[in-house]
Structure 1
Amino acid sequence: MTLLYQTHSPYARKALVFAHEAGLAGQIAVVHHETSPTLRNDQVFAENPLGKVPVLLRTDAQPIFDSDVICDYLDTLNPGRKLIPEQGEARWQALRVQAVAQGLADAGIAVRWETVRRPEALRYPPLRDGYVEKLVASYDWLERELDVTADLHVGHIALATTLDWLAFRELPSFRDGRPLLSAWFDEFLRRPSMRATPLSGDTHDIAAPESGTTPANT
């Protein structure tokens, strides 16, 4: 399998961390691609009509996208304990945390458009402030609701990779006044799957560097 990836995407990293946790990373070649709504990547569009990563290329089968679907597929190949609970309240709790994590990433990207990515004359501060409010409200919800004693699940992976990306991009911090969330995150950062997939690089909205292949464990 080949994963079309981006070293600074919270969504792509979620899929790769999931692969590590499921014991499948050694079966996946990772190929970095720069993507942006303002800069078309034809190689990615050839596999995903949305032009976004991550995309999982399979031998003799259609490609799979986005990160949620990739994780769902990888869990069917997982030789160990499933990371997406199959039934009961555990399933809905995992998917609920995953949904909040996805929303955090979406809101963080929107804040970046209104602060650094969009030309200054086109930025809309009230929209930025609205997305910041979503970040803060979600941080507070996680401090109250996150079950830090639950077995590892897809929601944890989505949340840890998103929080790390928010810190990487220096977006509003989740740490202030949230000791439980901060302690959980710091512990999760020590997992080998997180250490093997560090964030790096910046978004290219004007010119993309040449894509290259990197090992799954870098």
Structure 2
Amino acid sequence: MILRSAPPSPFGRKVKIAAGLLGLSDRITIVAADTNDASDDLRTQNPLGKIPTLVLDDGQTLFDSRVILDYLDHIAGGGRIIPREPNARFAALRMQALCDGILDASILRVYEARYRPQAIHHQPWLDYQADKVVRALAVLEAEPQALDPVPHVGQITLACALGYQDLRFAGTWRANHPQLVAWLDRFAAQVPAFDQTRVAT
């Protein structure tokens, strides 16, 4: 399989960490993708031109990260990072959705700075995105987070969301979220792929 991604992508990082946890890393070749390059064949592999995209052995493609993680769990036997029991399953999927939302809002803030001149930045819109992150982190901080022996999709995504706050926002989240800081330290100690996929700030 071929994973089209880029090192800073937190969604690509989700896939790499999941592959490591499931023992599938040696079955995936990572090929860099440039979403801004119209000639990159990413746009034929994924008509949205987004990463991550997973190219299967038969040439079919899967996207986005949630679908790819579901597929990796499936080929690893199922029930490994997506629980089978309904209550646990939907709790993990809900957590994944919340943390994907943190990432979506954070990336929109990054893109605003990257692609629009500062003179036309729309501060109320930036504040709207930032507030999503503040609210979501407050909820996660208030609810002690478990860490499964094999972290599920929600826990993987939480780690990537916090890592992205470190990468793009200088770790400012840490001062007000000591429980999440401690949780991320435990995750990093338990999951070698987290440090292996870290991008220098």
Give the TM-score taking structure 2 as reference length: 0.91
Q: 1:199 to 1:180 in 2, by over 3 A?
A: same
Is 1:111–2:105 an aligned residue pair? no
Aligned 8 A contact 2:99 2:154 in 1:
yes
Q: 1:6 to 1:41 in 2, by over 3 A?
A: farther
For 1:185-200, what aligned pairs fall within 5 Å after superposition? Answer: 185-190=184-189, 191-199=191-199
Please tell me the root mean square deviation across aligned C-alpha atoms, in Å: 2.0
Which structure features the higher share of helix residues? 2
Separation in structure 2 between the aligned mates of residue 184 and residue 199 of structure 1, nearest angstrom: 20
Separation in structure 1 between the aligned mates of residue 142 and residue 91 of structure 2, nearest angstrom: 13
User: Cα distance, 1:179 vs. partner?
Assistant: 1.7
Q: Which residue of 2 aligns with 1:90?
A: 88
- One-letter amino acid of the structure 2 residue matched with residue 93 of structure 1: A
- One-letter amino acid of the structure 1 residue matched with residue 103 of structure 2: A
User: Cα distance, 1:61 vs. partner?
Assistant: 4.6
Residues 16-60 of structure 1 show CA distances to partners (whole Å, capped at 9, x for unaligned) of 111111110011100111214xx5353110100100111111112
Q: Which residue of 1 aligns with 2:57?
A: 59
For 1:113-128, what aligned pairs fall within 5 Å after superposition? Answer: 113-128=111-126
Q: Which residue of 1 aligns with 2:139?
A: 141
Aligned 8 A contact 1:114 1:127 in 2:
no
Q: Which runs of 5+ in 2 are unaligned?
A: none
Separation in structure 2 between the aligned mates of residue 41 and residue 139 of structure 1, nearest angstrom: 38
Q: 1:175 to 1:47 in 2, by over 3 A?
A: same
Separation in structure 1 between the aligned mates of residue 56 and residue 147 of structure 2, nearest angstrom: 35
Separation in structure 2 between the aligned mates of residue 185 and residue 118 of structure 1, nearest angstrom: 33
User: Cα distance, 1:81 vs. partner?
Assistant: 5.6
Q: Per chain length, whose mean CA-contact separation is higher, i.e. which structure has more relative contact order (CA < 8 Å, sep 6+)?
A: 1
Percent of residue pairs identical = 37
Q: Which residue of 2 aligns with 1:166?
A: 165
Does the residue aligned with 2:41 lie in a helix, a strand or coil?
helix
Separation in structure 2 between the aligned mates of residue 76 and residue 149 of structure 1, nearest angstrom: 21
Q: Which residue of 1 aligns with 2:27?
A: 27
Q: Which residue of 1 aligns with 2:156?
A: 157
Q: Which residue of 2 aligns with 1:72?
A: 70
Q: Which residue of 1 aligns with 2:177?
A: 178
Give the TM-score taking structure 1 as reference length: 0.84
Aligned 8 A contact 2:33 2:40 in 1:
no
Aligned length: 199
Does the residue aligned with 1:112 lie in a helix, a strand or coil?
helix
User: Cα distance, 1:9 vs. partner?
Assistant: 0.5
Aligned 8 A contact 1:84 1:94 in 2:
yes
Separation in structure 2 between the aligned mates of residue 111 and residue 13 of structure 1, nearest angstrom: 19
Does the residue aligned with 1:176 lie in a helix, a strand or coil?
helix
Is 1:10–2:14 an aligned residue pair? no
Does the residue aligned with 1:169 lie in a helix, a strand or coil?
helix
Residues 101-156 of structure 1 show CA distances to partners (whole Å, capped at 9, x for unaligned) of 11011110111233344211221011111111111111101112353254521111
